[in-house]
A and B are shown apart, each in its own frame.
Chain A
């Protein structure tokens, strides 16, 4: 089984599919572009979600909890991504 796994794990490196090689080809500008695109898409989705929660949530505690949880995790996610791009940028 170990031998089988080792063989499968060797397929990608033998084809030159190593993440380090792929990552080396990604420029910082491209990463900032992806980040910007994500910000636009998720920003628009967040506005639509907030609209529903505020308009149709009727002050429900579960909706308020979901709103806070979603926002905190989303902002944290963006902070991590900005930190990752900025690290070597």
Chain B
């Protein structure tokens, strides 16, 4: 198992995955696709005279099961891409893992003290009702913008990041170190 590249003494405060609505919408679409052959068969009368004791019944079961496991596997591909796309907030950094597809993954991180602005967007009725939205974090200096869509409880996440940011700045001010941060982008 790969380990997160944490610094000595660094603590993970929060791991943010996408809101379940993202998978739910995909699941609904796949469920409709699952029902589609059955509905077409019924509607066009293709299933006329199929006897459960006959060979054709077992072929229909075979075909439908094959269709189901193809959709099942596709759902897990979509789910894996969405679920492994995550933000990890530690007491020092934000690690952004971008899982765009099964063969396209990138990990970037930046130090919390470099944050200049955090913006939360909850757009739409459903997003407001279910409490998910987008967080946009801007950093000073090289002006990196980090965006995470469909995140659950975005205001809570923003508060946590702000709190960490304040603590980091206070720590640096006490130790007299300038907030000299570095960003690492690792492409896999």
A residues within 8 Å of B by Cβ? 8-13, 17-20, 23-24, 26, 31, 34-35, 38, 42, 45-46, 48-49, 52-60, 62-63, 66, 70, 73-74, 77-78, 80-81, 84-85, 87-88
Contacts and interface: CB of A to CB of B under 8 A. Distances in A.
Contacts of A84: 58-59, 61-62, 65
A78 B69 CA distance: 8
Interface of B: 1-4, 15, 17, 41, 43-50, 54-56, 58-62, 65-66, 68-70, 72-73, 76-77, 79-80, 83-84, 97, 99, 102, 105
B45 A31 contact: no
Contacts of A77: 65-66, 68-69, 72
Would you list the 3 A-B pairs with minimal beta carbon distance, nearest first? A9-B45, A23-B56, A77-B69
Given A19-B56, A24-B56, A87-B58, A54 B1 contact: yes
Given A49-B77, A49-B80, A55-B1, A23 B60 contact: yes
